[in-house]
Amino acid sequence: MNEHEEKIAIIENAIFEIESIMSEVDSAISGTSQQAHYEAYGKYGFNQLLGNGNPYDSSLESLIKELKEEGEL
pLDDT at residue number 26? 97
Residue 2 has pLDDT above 80, yes or no: yes
Residue 73 has pLDDT above 70, yes or no: no
Q: Which residues contact 46 (CB under 8 A, 6 or more apart)?
A: 18, 21, 22, 25, 52
What confidence tens digit (pLDDT) does each residue in 18-66 have? Answer: 999 999 999 999 999 999 999 999 999 999 999 987 778 889 999 999 9
**Cα distance between residue 51 and residue 56, in whole Å:** 9
pLDDT at residue number 71? 83
> What is the CA 27 to chain-centroid distance, rounded?
18
